[in-house]
Amino acid sequence: LSNKTNDEIVPTLLTQHLKVKPVTMLTASRSPGYVASPHSKLQSMIWSNPIRNVFITKKPGTTTTREAMVKFITHLHDSYPEINVIVQPPVISEISNDFKTFPEQNPNHPHVLFTGENEDIVTKTDLMVTLGGDGTILHAVSMFHDMQVPPVLAFSLGTLGFLLPFDFSEHEVVFNQVMNSRAKCLHRTRLECFIVRKNDPKKISKLVSVHAMNDIFLHRGNAPYLAYLDVFIDGEYLTRTTADGIALATPTGSTAYSLSAGGSIVSPLVPSILLTPICPRSLSFRPLILPHSSHVKIRISTKSTYNLENNKINLSIDGRPYDSLDVGDEIHVINETGTIYLNGSELPPEYNSPDLFKRKSKIKYSGIYCVAKTENDWSLGINELLGFNSSFRFKPAKTKNDKPSNCSFEE
Amino acid sequence: LSNKTNDEIVPTLLTQHLKVKPVTMLTASRSPGYVASPHSKLQSMIWSNPIRNVFITKKPGTTTTREAMVKFITHLHDSYPEINVIVQPPVISEISNDFKTFPEQNPNHPHVLFTGENEDIVTKTDLMVTLGGDGTILHAVSMFHDMQVPPVLAFSLGTLGFLLPFDFSEHEVVFNQVMNSRAKCLHRTRLECFIVRKNDPKKISKLVSVHAMNDIFLHRGNAPYLAYLDVFIDGEYLTRTTADGIALATPTGSTAYSLSAGGSIVSPLVPSILLTPICPRSLSFRPLILPHSSHVKIRISTKSTYNLENNKINLSIDGRPYDSLDVGDEIHVINETGTIYLNGSELPPEYNSPDLFKRKSKIKYSGIYCVAKTENDWSLGINELLGFNSSFRFKPAKTKNDKPSNCSFEE
Amino acid sequence: LSNKTNDEIVPTLLTQHLKVKPVTMLTASRSPGYVASPHSKLQSMIWSNPIRNVFITKKPGTTTTREAMVKFITHLHDSYPEINVIVQPPVISEISNDFKTFPEQNPNHPHVLFTGENEDIVTKTDLMVTLGGDGTILHAVSMFHDMQVPPVLAFSLGTLGFLLPFDFSEHEVVFNQVMNSRAKCLHRTRLECFIVRKNDPKKISKLVSVHAMNDIFLHRGNAPYLAYLDVFIDGEYLTRTTADGIALATPTGSTAYSLSAGGSIVSPLVPSILLTPICPRSLSFRPLILPHSSHVKIRISTKSTYNLENNKINLSIDGRPYDSLDVGDEIHVINETGTIYLNGSELPPEYNSPDLFKRKSKIKYSGIYCVAKTENDWSLGINELLGFNSSFRFKPAKTKNDKPSNCSFEE
Amino acid sequence: LSNKTNDEIVPTLLTQHLKVKPVTMLTASRSPGYVASPHSKLQSMIWSNPIRNVFITKKPGTTTTREAMVKFITHLHDSYPEINVIVQPPVISEISNDFKTFPEQNPNHPHVLFTGENEDIVTKTDLMVTLGGDGTILHAVSMFHDMQVPPVLAFSLGTLGFLLPFDFSEHEVVFNQVMNSRAKCLHRTRLECFIVRKNDPKKISKLVSVHAMNDIFLHRGNAPYLAYLDVFIDGEYLTRTTADGIALATPTGSTAYSLSAGGSIVSPLVPSILLTPICPRSLSFRPLILPHSSHVKIRISTKSTYNLENNKINLSIDGRPYDSLDVGDEIHVINETGTIYLNGSELPPEYNSPDLFKRKSKIKYSGIYCVAKTENDWSLGINELLGFNSSFRFKPAKTKNDKPSNCSFEE
Ligand SMILES: NC(=O)C1=CN([C@@H]2O[C@H](COP(=O)(O)OP(=O)(O)OC[C@H]3O[C@@H](n4cnc5c(N)ncnc54)[C@H](O)[C@@H]3O)[C@@H](O)[C@H]2O)C=CC1
Ligand SMILES: NC(=O)C1=CN([C@@H]2O[C@H](COP(=O)(O)OP(=O)(O)OC[C@H]3O[C@@H](n4cnc5c(N)ncnc54)[C@H](O)[C@@H]3O)[C@@H](O)[C@H]2O)C=CC1
Ligand SMILES: NC(=O)C1=CN([C@@H]2O[C@H](COP(=O)(O)OP(=O)(O)OC[C@H]3O[C@@H](n4cnc5c(N)ncnc54)[C@H](O)[C@@H]3O)[C@@H](O)[C@H]2O)C=CC1
Ligand SMILES: NC(=O)C1=CN([C@@H]2O[C@H](COP(=O)(O)OP(=O)(O)OC[C@H]3O[C@@H](n4cnc5c(N)ncnc54)[C@H](O)[C@@H]3O)[C@@H](O)[C@H]2O)C=CC1
């Protein structure tokens, strides 16, 4: 099923209890409104039109998430017959034999799952549900580029994540709150990255844009030489760094790679772009927190004596290898609602594509709205997950089994 | 003159060329409008009513600044006879013998300077001019607490400053631009600090508020014991730190003490509050960048065995010792336009003083508008002043005299 | 008793069960030999002459340590009647009523405690036992300056310490091992600090030397200005630092103040001197690890405009305020067996005091030999006490009570 | 010539002025004695038998180094006819046409160069001369593994290096000092790395040993997953790190990769091994300075869910890619004179190869003796080359051209 092209997906009865239909049949996605309140860091998510299409993704290949997915779909079908469940084709193959009964409120009809190409799924999704860890959320959100991201309801199974998911045991209660506009969301910004190739005559045609929830980074990877990177802010030269690489992160990503490289922890509510060097050959490169409206350009530079062919630098988006860049190539990073036409920008006029701006105007709510547990999720997260400011343990361990957390080592 | 109380200042002819008048004679201060532009990080400063009262401060006691002040006043009197110059009483004593001629456009009248108590000066100032370094600006701005700060036009004399002053040689040109609404300003936020004493029955009566342009910090000072500080964000406990102290900084202050303690460099345009520990006894305390709307409470805690009397912790505002705190005392820090009545706050209702809010509503433009040289001042500053990301110097020095900057040592 | 001068201490029966005698009655201290082994990081402590005089110190004022002390003394008197127990006068006052029985092996004689002036105690001590935390050890060791430190057997009571004490519950077994030359020791180096006053005509007369187990630091303390310190290594100018201060630490002290200021963790077995700046106004001051044989000179410098009187800098030794220094004053720091007459040293010849060298030659084993639990104490310590390299806790807490260690906060 | 095997190198007249002979003709290398002095950080290099065989290496492919090499060889042949000059085959091809005259003291004979396989060159070299930067020295020294390294005399050409070379303009004077036993050397230690494969039945046969002057590091390279590394010290488990990688460095290497990753600067005279994590996913991993005698074992670990095939980790020695490791593989790192059979080691007995120890016993002087300029080279280096503790530049630039060093950017 997974390799079928979209128009091949026709309603099919896979088993006695499971039928698949093309996602293209569904009505277009609709989004909730988000209402801020003066006393809250979160925004209320209000559905003036009820949720109809729920897209569920999961971490591939573990029994726990597969079972959770079946449980969650069954719950939706049993309790919310009006809701259409969307999954990706590989998931259907994985779970097709797991439905042994008919939906409760619809005893004579099989379970129905909608599926299709990613590019169709994204146009139909009202709400996205993820089952897995941080990687699952990052991956699911990455499907929605150049368009509005539906609200994200994330569940973890066994392991916690820093993107602050709910425990799966709460799925019934939480989904009910979301349905009834009683859920609150934390807003997270995204970054957008354009690659401009040095040797591209018609630059505009190749203007590729990718979106990052965590970070965009350049790294020397396996290369035995250092990366030489020229950094420009709003069209003005800032510095040249000789380093393993450089990370541009959202506040969300401040606890990911940027943290490992020595960056500060930034609340998701601080509108900003983090510029954190990775192992720079300088004593005086301190991580920078730039305005949200910044246009950051990084150009692959070189020491003249280097062989140009060898000087490839890897670009990764949210930790996934994306492309490799040559000397003279550039990345341009802005926040998702930003524009690269700031005062003083050196970007040539041919980039001033009308498409670029038409697209932007379509998006009402930029960034990512994540259903949140409490006002305090973030503080709890840095305390409980990152072990922030652990005090030195000058109290003796009570019992032999009361080991520090890093003693989890077993041969 | 400096010790005279306000009502004693009567118009006095100090020398043939200099007359002093009470500042109270002047009309009340008026402020410009600030207009943002989509393509600029700066805001245009527009005077719908022309500037009349200019308050000039200077670093005390150096010949260079004294001479510059006389030159600047002379220029104003010569070229802008409609402008009233305000100075503090000690300045008058310092410069009274330095006026040897009459103003050009007013050849038969002596130079006139207005003076008085600080609390009167602040109500009359349309524009503030500082002559000196960062400390001079910090000190001048600190006079304006609980009220709108007039725009700041800063000049340096010989030494540069990170608050990015103009060189004094440009004073005529720059002042003319300011007068003619052709100057642009960088907006900097301020923090506000309330002290709440543990053993104060009527807490509200003692609610003191001070404003910081750089930072508010608690430090053990000379004490041979560590500070134990409990940190709460928006009323929720975050962490207890055992440390030399803790700094809460504005983005402006990110390059001051916070930097020395290991904090990131934050652009003044990122609305945020920096929480940077000072020498904490923890491997895992990383500097935090909190939302601008945060309410940070810090309570002096203690190890039970300590003698309470000895456990004083020093509070400093913009580097000046302000007060010392005892175990159980608290500071509450918010941004100047913020409120401490956020969701979940533990602050008792009696703090909810109506005065507090009446004051706030008076301020139209909070923070500090500093006349800026270029869009790029900040990047230039971190490069040129802080030596940001200096690359290793693997080129030989051209001449013997081409020494690295830290070799400025002389016996 | 505590205020009596030495010659006033005459044998006195304090209670029916406790007699006090002057420490001066005892024979001079003798030290063990220390034998290294190729396969061990520790050294065997061999007593060719059996231990006779045991000096016991404790953390002042807590019931737990008082009770432990009485228990320990009773055990020694019961099991090792040949051993003389030495305590300081205040301890006698504290515990005098706690002996309710006669020693087991000497049923008709009271318990005997030896006491006297510190300067007499140190000349009689064969072995030092401490009951308390790191501070107790630091303080006890500091009594032995300019002379050999007796081996240290440290016990903790309830709280752990980074100087790696034994748990008090093991005191009988461990003391027996020490007595029978079956204990092993970790060797820790000490630093020595000389103060040289600028305005001291006969410098040699005032040459004060103090010894540090952890660190020697200079700090601005309460001063609202920064410290300007010129650093010289082996007589050559290294750098001028503008900072809160500077710490010179032993490897033992690498986990004390130096760690909080950002220093690396250095094994006690690495012969070296750590130079760690405290909140320096520089992006590029990295902690330095200098050779053990280094001669570090730090001179209090000044910006010319400062008022000299105000520019006092505090000197602390192992965390205790020691003295305050003026502009032009210097400290000279070397390892305890080092000499300040290295090549190129600028120290004037008059310091070349014969006394200095005579003293040195007396010391056979420099530094501090601490009875150790296992080869691995240090690694265990950084893991268990400092929470070194705690991994992020992405496993859910098993029970409600399984809180992270920094949630120990209680109102 | 470069591809010829050793026995093919026969005396050949390449040009009228240049003859090549096989290095195997030369007598075996002999080494100087090194004499320490109490007042010096350097050691005098004493040649009881005069230097005969000088091996000269250079950075490949630049005109400047080629010309310098010819100049240096010509000087040796002109002034020291008894000295045999050794070069590698590719160098001969490069410079063969550059000799236009006969040697001064030997006017009728061509210049003679000795060459051959690296494994023969290393057995004949009395003194090694390098022309180029740090990389040239690292590479030259790496030829000498498992044997004594000849003294290194390094010259730089235009660019400075942190391994503190002489300027080439001084080559005549300096070489003369070396010849006449008037030169002093800085001693630098090396690390040795053994790779042990998990799935190697006869582990001993594959026991590979490589030597590092700077560092040995493991890195995830291009992999999109993190490295999981278990670290053991002296056979005891220390910690598991999840990171980009880990660096084990000599004090010499403390200013190379370790510095970029946040490590302290360690004097080459501090006998120690640095363990510095590279971008670890932990807030509390602080660089460690371990005893010189440590045996550090690192095992590639894995999260159980990972695909083993993908989990390759790259090993680099002095920055050169060396090998890639699989899950379960280990590296064992010790100092060059150390042994991996420390107390508690888990290394199986079959590693206890007699060869291993036979080799060790051959080396009289381990590590690398580098001819040094002054006692103070190291302090000068961190100041002048690394820009250590640069103070903030609050003095205005004198002229427009007086730009900070990081403004070297040109489009
Ligand atoms: N040395 C490092 O710390 C590196 C970190 N990364 C980070 O990994 C991210 C991708 O994550 P995965 O797809 O899960 O890859 P992954 O499976 O390699 O996991 C990376 C780890 O980072 C955690 N993580 C992800 N986003 C986070 C966030 N915003 N805050 C705190 N922790 C977070 C994950 O839970 C996981 O433990 C990238 O965006 C990048 O920031 C990537 C490479 C190296
Ligand atoms: N160890 C440290 O770095 C310490 C720093 N400070 C800082 O000093 C500030 C007060 O400054 P002054 O009255 O001039 O005292 P000061 O005369 O003691 O000078 C402190 C230094 O900081 C510089 N400075 C001030 N504000 C700055 C900023 N926003 N960015 C970059 N550099 C800045 C000044 O130019 C001066 O070089 C405080 O707000 C505090 O942040 C205060 C105590 C210790
Ligand atoms: N901000 C900071 O971290 C400061 C640290 N200190 C350190 O405190 C030391 C004096 O200790 P105390 O008399 O116990 O004073 P204290 O009672 O103020 O305790 C300081 C803390 O440091 C711990 N400590 C002491 N020596 C240590 C070591 N070598 N390794 C790890 N932890 C250690 C103690 O257990 C205690 O938790 C000084 O030598 C200095 O290094 C002193 C002032 C400030
Ligand atoms: N992000 C980083 O800082 C990285 C650093 N390296 C370092 O590069 C070294 C290899 O150097 P090259 O062969 O010259 O490669 P390279 O040509 O890539 O140069 C690396 C840079 O490090 C400098 N360098 C080398 N050894 C040094 C030392 N001991 N102290 C100070 N600077 C030093 C070199 O002069 C050069 O500027 C490796 O041993 C490793 O330590 C390697 C990879 C990444």
What's D190-220 look like in SS3? CEEEEEECCCCCCHHHHCEEEEECCEEEEEC
* Interface contact D239-C389, CB threshold 8 A: yes
> Which bound ligand lies closest to the C-alpha atom of C265?
3
3-class SS of residue A314: strand
User: Ligand 2 mean position to B71 CA, how many Å?
Assistant: 28
- Residue B310 and residue B308: Cα distance in Å, rounded? 5
Structural domains present in chain B: 6-188 (3.40.50.10330), 191-352 (2.60.200.30)
Please write the tens of the pLDDT for every residue from B120-136: 999 999 999 999 999 99
Question: If we measure between CA atoms, which residue out of B302, B77, B315 comes closest to residue B194?
Answer: B315
Contact C256, C215 (CB under 8 A): yes
The whole-angstrom distance between D285's CA and the closest CA on chain B is 7
Weakest mean pLDDT among A21-30, A384-393, C261-270, C391-400 = C391-400
Q: What is the pLDDT of residue A162?
A: 85
Q: Quote the pLDDT of residue B1.
A: 44
CB contact under 8 A, A260 and D237: no
* Per-residue confidence (pLDDT) for residue B69, from 0 to 100: 97
What b/e string do you get for D281-300 counting C-beta neighbours within 10 Å, with b at 16 or more? Answer: bbbbbbbbbbbbbbbbbbbb
- Contact by Cβ (8 Å): C190, C368: yes
Amino acid B341: pLDDT: 46
Burial of D366 (0-12, 13-18, 19+ CB in 10 A): middle
Low-confidence winner among A162-171, A175-184, B69-78, C282-291 (lowest mean pLDDT): A162-171
Number of B to D CB contacts under 8 A, please give it. Answer: 90
When scoring B222, B231, B306, B346 by the number of chain C Cβ atoms within 10 A, the one with the most, hence best to mutate, is B222
C281 shares contact with chain A (CB less than 8 Å): no
Question: Residue C155: which of C164, C166, C163 has the closest Cα?
Answer: C166
In the block, residue with structure tokens 């800063």: B154
Single-letter residue type at B126: D
In the structure encoding, which two tokens stand for residue B150, read together?
């007039």
By CB neighbour count within 10 A (0-12 exposed, 13-18 middle, 19+ buried), where does B409 fall? Answer: middle
Residues linked to residue C282 through DSSP beta bridges, in sequence order:
none
pLDDT in tens, D144-157: 987 899 999 999 99
Residue B250 CA to residue B234 CA, distance in Å, equals 17
| Residue A253 backbone phi and psi in degrees, to 5 | -75, 0
Per-residue confidence (pLDDT) for residue B315, from 0 to 100: 96
DSSP string over B306-318: S-GGG--EEEEET
**Cα(D322)–Cα(D329) distance, rounded to whole angstroms?**
14
DSSP strand pairing (C184-188 vs C368-372)? antiparallel
Q: Is A365 helix (H, G, I), strand (E, B) or coil?
A: coil
Q: Residue B250: what pLDDT?
A: 98
Residues 6+ apart with CB under 8 A from A283: B390, C283, C284, C285, C286, D259, D386, D387, D388, D390
What's the burial of A320, exposed, middle or buried (CB within 10 Å: 0-12/13-18/19+)?
A: middle
Helices (H) and strands (E) in chain A, counts: 8, 24
Please determine, for residue C204, whether its predicted confidence score (pLDDT) is greater than 50: no
Among D167, D283, D408, whose Cβ lies nearest the Cβ of B286? D283
- In this prediction, residue B400 carries a pLDDT of 36
Is the predicted pLDDT of residue B307 greater than 60, yes or no? no
Share of chain C above pLDDT 90, in %: 61
> Is residue D60 over pLDDT 90?
no
**Which residue in the set B280, B344, B383 is minimally distant from A389, CB to CB?**
B280
Phi, psi of C203 (to 5 degrees): -55, -35
| Contact predicate C213/C190, CB 8 Å | yes
Count the neighbouring beta carbons within 10 Å of the beta carbon of residue A337. 15
Q: Do C196 and C283 contact (CB within 8 A), yes or no? A: no
Contact of C78 with chain D, judged by CB distance below 8 Å, is answered with no
Task: Please report the DSSP string for B157-201 in residue order.
Answer: SSS--TT-PEEGGGHHHHHHHHHTT--EEEEE--EEEEEE-TT-S
Average pLDDT value for residue range C228-246 = 93
Confidence of residue B40 (pLDDT cuts 50, 70, 90): confident
Inform me whether the C-beta atom of residue C310 falls under 8 Å from chain D C-beta atoms. Answer: no
Q: Which 8-state DSSP code applies to residue B363? A: -
Residues found in chain B: 411
Residue B260, min C-alpha distance to chain D (Å): 12
Alpha helices in C279-376 (DSSP H): 354-362
What pLDDT was estimated at residue D410?
A: 31
Across the interface, of C269, C284, C290, the residue whose CB is closest to D387 is C284
Assigned token pair, A16: 């006695």
Q: Please indicate if any CB of chain A lies within 8 Å of the CB of D281.
A: yes
Residues C53 and C126 sit within 8 Å (Cβ to Cβ):
yes
Output the pLDDT for position A263.
Answer: 97
How confident is residue A207, by pLDDT bands cut at 50, 70 and 90? low
- Please work out whether the CB of residue B244 comes within 6 Å of at least one atom of ligand 3: yes
pLDDT > 60? residue D162? yes
Is-contact A135 A126, C-beta < 8 A?
A: no
- The CA distance from D112 to D26, in Å, is 12
What's the pLDDT score for residue D7? 54
- The arithmetic mean of pLDDT across residues D123-138, rounded, is 96
| Percent over 90 (pLDDT), chain D | 61
Q: What's the average model confidence in pLDDT over C139-148?
A: 91
Query: Is the pLDDT confidence value at A325 over 50?
Result: yes
- Minimal CA–CA distance to C57: which of C142, C115, C131? C131
B215, two tokens:
């930072």
What's the distance, CA C320 to chain centroid?
11
Q: If you average pLDDT over residues A284-299, what whole number do you get?
A: 94
Cα dihedral sign, D259-D264-D265-D270: negative
Locate the chain B residue with the closest alpha carbon to A232.
B379
**Ligand 2 proximal residues by C-beta, below 6 Å:** B 133-135, 138, 161-163, 214-215, 252-253, 255-257, 260, 318-319; C 225-226, 243-244, 279, 281
pLDDT in tens, A350-398: 454 444 433 454 567 789 999 999 988 898 889 888 989 887 765 544 4
Produce one character per residue of D115-126: b if its CB has 16 or more CB atoms within 10 Å, e if not. bbbeebbbebbb
Q: Which of C120, C134, C244, C318 is catalytic?
A: C134
pLDDT tens-digit map of C344-380? 444 444 454 444 433 454 567 789 999 999 988 898 8
The CA-based angle C275-C280-C286, given to 5 degrees, is 45
**pLDDT (tens digit, 9 = 90+) per residue, A104-141?**
888 889 999 999 999 999 999 999 999 999 999 999 99
Cβ of residue A132 lying under 6 Å from some atom of ligand 1: no
Beta bridge pairs of residue D191: D212, D335
Q: Is B320 on the interface with C (CB under 8 A)?
A: yes
Residue D315: both structure tokens together: 């090993």
Longest C-alpha distance within chain B, in Å?
74
When CB atoms are compared, the residue of C238, C342, C376 closest to D236 is C376
Contact B385, D392 (CB under 8 A): yes
What tokens appear for A267 in the block? 């609340």
Average pLDDT for chain C: 85
Q: Is the pLDDT of residue C71 over 70?
A: yes
Is residue D208 packed enough to be buried (19+ CB in 10 Å), middle (13-18) or exposed (0-12)?
exposed
- Looking at residue A393, its pLDDT comes to 64
Average pLDDT over residues D186-199: 89
- Picking from A246, A367, A380, the residue whose alpha carbon sits closest to that of residue A315 is A246
Question: What is the percentage of chain A residues whose pLDDT exceeds 70?
Answer: 82
Q: Output the pLDDT for position A341.
A: 46
**Among all chains, which residue has been given the structure tokens 């390449």?**
D14
ipTM above 0.90, yes or no: yes
Per-residue pLDDT at C344? 40
Q: What share of chain B is helix, strand, coil (3-state, %, to 5)?
A: 25, 30, 45
Known catalytic membership, residue B215: no
Q: How far apart are CA D229 and CA D260, in angstroms?
A: 20
The subunits that touch chain A, with at least 3 C-beta pairs less than 8 Å apart, are B, C, D
d(CA C271, CA A172): 62
Q: How far is D84 from chain A (nearest CA, A)?
A: 32
Alpha-carbon Rg for chain A in angstroms: 23
Average pLDDT (C334-353) is 54
What rounded mean pLDDT belongs to chain D? 85
Query: A399 CB near a chain C CB, below 8 Å?
Result: no
Q: What is the mean pLDDT of residues A226-246?
A: 93
Strand C208-212 and strand C84-86: pairing? unpaired
Which atom number of ligand 4 is nearest to the Cα of residue D317?
39
Distance from CA of C394 to the nearest CA of D (A): 12
Dihedral of the alpha carbons of C216, C221, C223, C229, in degrees to the nearest 10: 20
Euclidean distance between the first and the last CA atom of chain B, given in angstroms as a whole number? 41
Distance CA A410, CA B10 (A): 85
- The set of residues, in sequence order, having a beta carbon less than 8 Å from that of A8 and lying 6+ positions away, is none
Partners of C246 in the β-ladder: C218, C277
Question: What backbone torsions phi and psi does residue D90 show, to the nearest 5 degrees?
Answer: -60, -30
A45, A208, A372, B298 from A365: Cα distances, Å? 12, 22, 17, 36
Q: Provide the token pair at D20.
A: 């090549």
User: B285: nearest CA in chain A?
Assistant: A389
Tell me what the mean pLDDT of segment D204-233 comes to.
Answer: 86
For residue A304, the 8-state DSSP code is T
Ligand nearest to the CA of C253: 3
